[in-house]
Amino acid sequence: MRSSRLFAPTLREVPSDVEMTSHALLLRAGFIRQMGAGVYEFLPLGWRVLNKVSDIIRDEMDKSGAQELLLSAIQPEELWAESGREGPMSDVLIGFQDRRGTKYYLGPTHEEIITDLVRKNVRSYRDLPLNLYQIQMKYRDEPRPRGGLVRCREFLMKDAYSFDRDEAALDTVYNRMYEAYVNVFKRCGMDITAVDASGGAIGGKETKEFMLLTDAGEDSVLMCPKCGYAANQEIADFRLVDASTGDEKKQMARVDTPGAHTVDEVCGFLKAKPNQLIKTLILMADDKPVAALVRGDRDLNEGRFRVLLGASKLEMATPEQIAACTGGPIGFSGPVGLKVPLYADEETLGMVNFIVGANEGDAHLVDVNWCDVAGKVTSARLRFAVSGDLCEKCDEPFEEKRGMEMGHIFKLKYAISEPLNAVYTDEDGSEKLIIMGCYGIGVSRIVAGVAEVSNDDNGLIWPVSIAPYQVQLICANVTDETQLALAERVYETLVQAGVEVLYDDRNDRAGVKFKDADLIGTPIQVVVGKLAAEGKAEIRTRVDKTAEPVAEADILANVQARVGG
């Protein structure tokens, strides 16, 4: 491809509303353009990278025994109603009606569609196992798209779904997918950490997320430096340390705390530390109020709490709902005399003489002890693990890192097949539910991820495997006939040999072309310049700018060696 013909508008300056490195570089280098919030167009360079990633995924998926197909992006609403996920996922569903008034959603994921396909076409155990995948745009009305390709409303995903007879067969395919994923990310040049994760709205415990560790990531990952345990903060387990001081219990007292409704304000007012306070969070679990009690400096893990309650919906109560069940305004709730079910984080049980809200405006209770709290208190782990908490297996303090989720595999089991009644006839003639797994990779997010971690001040740095072109050939001065003639010959030679080469034949100053080449990030650069008079070109890499003079006859072999390595 000749740069003079390539549609790759590069920018010198970063558009003002861009913050994330990968976003800025992909825009500047002419890989993507924005259509709207979380909606991007892939320009030729971006599209090439996306396809390189897709091809690697295809190769690994096919090797693992999965079969590619293409499902409909338009999904009938009734399937979502049937699976019971229309409600839980209503926030992100983008819907429309056809001319007859039938409702549809643009596919945010394809469990319903594929399970419907399979239940209509699979009858017998002889038809199993099946592992089907596709690479297709997904549509989710994300509450907050961000970071360019990191979180989009329209994004490219590889999604695979396995269908098996029993758990043992599911385990087999799950493990095979794990291996395939490891291979995919390795081939894309990414250093990925697999972590224990939460099944999210679907549920399920056996699930792994494939995280790219980067400060730009949206997730928190807790890692044990000793045993290698790694988990998403949402589900990370840790050892409870008994922090009870053995202080003598004092007499509870009511104090005025005008205007102090946040933990910081109360602490400032009472000259206390956040860990001496227990905050009482009122939540609505399937529309019934419950109270969660956690130490003032901790955060409630709502996902864990929801699972504990067995609730399908859990959300923070509104000020009105809080007033209705506590009798006080938001910010002054407390467990003493509270008439809603109380759930206390296990860490709070060892506390004495703590501070809580008084369930009335502008007042708190101090020197409270658990004996003051009438009523049943359920103790459970309700808070997130944080940096410094101890690994449950080896008592080593966790390190906390940011991660960007690139892939997710998990065992759906019967979560979808049961409501959709996807069954098969087993050997003994009995009808059984198909057991399922699902496996996703954010293809477009991989592009963002690699761009995020692989760059320098001059631009992107692509690994050979997914670079838009393997080689960038630069003719330093196209008005120099010797240079131009040599560059043209080198271009022909490389193209004929099947090397993917972007040939900068523009009539610009050399500096412009060097800058663009670095920005685009092609891993190998071949410069035809002053040495053309001697019949030589310079070959260098994007990372190591040490130029190696190479005679014309040896250029192809040199390039091929670099591409291969």
Partner RNA sequence: CGGGGUGUAGCGCAGUUUGGUUAGCGCGCGUGUUUUGGGAACACGAGGUCGCCGGUUCGAAUCCGGCCACCCCGACCA
d(CA 168, CA 165): 8
Which residues, numbered 404-433, are part of the site for RNA (CB under 7 A)?
A: 408, 410
**Could you check whether the bond before residue 129 is cis, i.e. omega within 30 degrees of 0?**
yes
Kindly state the smallest distance separating residue 204's Cβ from RNA, in Å: 8
Contacts of 557 (CB under 8 A, 6+ apart): none
Which residues, numbered 430-449, are part of the site for RNA (CB under 7 A)?
A: 438, 440
Burial of residue 18, with CB atoms counted within 10 A of its CB: 0-12 exposed, 13-18 middle, 19 or more buried: middle
CB 369 within 8 A of CB 344: no
Kindly state the smallest distance separating residue 75's Cβ from RNA, in Å: 12
Kindly state the smallest distance separating residue 105's Cβ from RNA, in Å: 12
Q: Which of 78, 91, 346, 481 binds RNA (CB under 7 A)?
A: 91
| Residue 147 binds RNA (CB under 7 A) | yes
Give me 446's structure tokens.
Answer: 């991989």
d(CA 176, CA 61): 10
Kindly state the smallest distance separating residue 345's Cβ from RNA, in Å: 16
Closer by beta carbon to RNA, 318 or else 421:
318
Binding track, positions 8-27, relative to RNA; x by CB under 7 A: --xxxxxxxxxxx--x----
- Neighbouring-strand partners of residue 400: 222
| Residue 481 binds RNA (CB under 7 A) | no
| Residue 112 binds RNA (CB under 7 A) | no
d(CA 552, CA 538): 10
**Of 198-206, 248-256, 289-297, 344-352: span binding RNA (CB under 7 A):** 198-206
Q: Which of 255, 307, 380, 510 binds RNA (CB under 7 A)?
A: 510
**Of 31-39, 95-103, 167-175, 392-400: span binding RNA (CB under 7 A):** 31-39
Quickly list DSSP for 323-371: HHHHSS-TT---STT--S-EEEEGGGGG--SEEEE-SSTTEEEEEE-GG
Which residues, numbered 150-169, are part of the site for RNA (CB under 7 A)?
A: 151, 157, 159
Furthest CA-CA distance within the chain? 95
Kindly state the smallest distance separating residue 467's Cβ from RNA, in Å: 17
Closer by beta carbon to RNA, 226 or else 509:
509
| Residue 143 binds RNA (CB under 7 A) | yes
Distance of CA 327 to the CA centre of its chain: 41
Closer by beta carbon to RNA, 194 or else 349:
194
| Residue 199 binds RNA (CB under 7 A) | yes
Q: Which of 363, 530, 552, 560 binds RNA (CB under 7 A)?
A: 530
**Of 118-126, 135-143, 318-326, 420-428: span binding RNA (CB under 7 A):** 135-143
CB 353 within 8 A of CB 327: no
Which three-class secondary structure state does DSSP give residue 416? coil
Binding track, positions 488-507, relative to RNA; x by CB under 7 A: -------------------x
Closest CA to 184 of 64, 13, 36: 64
**Of 124-132, 356-364, 395-403, 474-482: span binding RNA (CB under 7 A):** 474-482
The end-to-end CA distance of the chain, in Å, is: 23
